[in-house]
Amino acid sequence: MEKKTVLITGATSGIGLGCARKFAQNGYKIILNGRKQDKLDAIKQELTTAYHAEVHTALFDVRDRQAAQTALGQLPESFKQIDVLVNNAGLVFGVDKEWEGNLDEWEIMLDTNIKGLLAMTRLVVPGMVERGRGHIINIGSIAGDYTYPGGSVYCATKAAVKMLSDGLRIDLVDTPLRVTNIKPGLVETNFSVTRYRGDKAVADKVYQGIHPLNGDDIAEVVYWTASVPDYMQIAEVLVLPTNQATGTIVYRK
């Protein structure tokens, strides 16, 4: 049986790295995308050693559409037929009020979380349609359902991920392709460190008093949605720590 191929954006840490490990463990060929070659090389070495996986690294920022197009055009023949696209690359900066935020940081968020996802979808999905098989898994967020103080722009980007996922599912309804939107709640990754501009002490406080999820937990959900029978489409999954009820209602011990 021919191995399937998964392309994971933002694969060098957090949820993306968890997904790379989970799919490699289950026999997939892996295309790792990230912005730092040394990290990509280290993860490739890990996956080939631990799981004997076939791995290709794709160095580009999803914000750079031309670089993404070039990298995908240069995929080795054995990696060209992508079966699963995990649109994971995303980030957030700051907890500023909307009328006080940094326009440059907003632009990076919009370009990564929305335009980067759209570019990858546009570049990869036509091949899936042509082959008559494929699965697009978008990493959204509970933030797309519940706006919280200091997060309006980020929340808007994740609301966009939901709408884009739903719209793509409609556009593909006459094909065998599947579209899934995964919406995590509190997940302890480098995400909050980026949000607080490198201040890990402040970032750690986000998870105090609660047992948060981690990147591997979300990877389990991602892989499950990809492994159900072909006639089944998991459209959306909201996954939270046990003591989180909504985007803002959290019980901390």
How many C-beta neighbours within 10 Å does residue 23 have?
Answer: 26
Query: Could you tell me the CA-to-CA distances from 161 to 3, 29, 47, 137 in Å, in that order?
Result: 29, 26, 29, 11
For residue 91, being part of any structural domain is answered with yes
- DSSP 8-class letter at 244: B
Domain holding 114: CATH number?
3.40.50.720
For residue 127, being part of any structural domain is answered with yes
Shortest CA distance to 190 belongs to which of 15, 39, 9, 32? 15
Residue pair 172/135 in contact by the 8 Å Cβ criterion: no
Q: Phi and psi of 50, rounded to 5°?
A: -75, -35
In the prediction, which pLDDT does 198 show?
Answer: 81
For residue 247, being part of any structural domain is answered with no
For residue 253, being part of any structural domain is answered with no
**pTM here?**
0.96
In the prediction, which pLDDT does 38 show?
Answer: 98
pLDDT in tens, the chain (253 residues): 789 999 999 999 999 999 999 999 999 999 999 999 999 999 999 999 999 999 999 999 999 999 999 999 999 999 999 999 999 999 999 999 999 999 999 999 999 999 999 999 999 999 999 999 999 999 999 999 999 999 999 999 999 999 999 999 999 999 999 999 999 999 998 888 888 888 888 888 899 999 999 999 999 999 999 999 999 999 999 999 999 999 999 999 9
55-59 β-sheet, strand order? 55-59, 29-34, 5-8, 84-87, 135-139, 178-184, 236-239
| Active-site annotation holder among 28, 146, 148, 154 | 154
Looking at the DSSP assignment, which residues form a beta bridge with residue 136?
85, 179
Strand ranges, E, within 45-143: 55-59, 84-87, 135-139
Residue-number span of the structural domain to which 129 is assigned: 5-239
For residue 244, being part of any structural domain is answered with no
Count how many domains the chain has: 1
In the prediction, which pLDDT does 98 show?
Answer: 95
Q: Give me the sign of the Cα torsion angle 163, 165, 169, 175.
A: positive
For residue 228, being part of any structural domain is answered with yes
Residue pair 22/221 in contact by the 8 Å Cβ criterion: no
CA–centroid distance for 17 within its chain: 10
For residue 248, being part of any structural domain is answered with no
* Catalytic residue check, 196: no
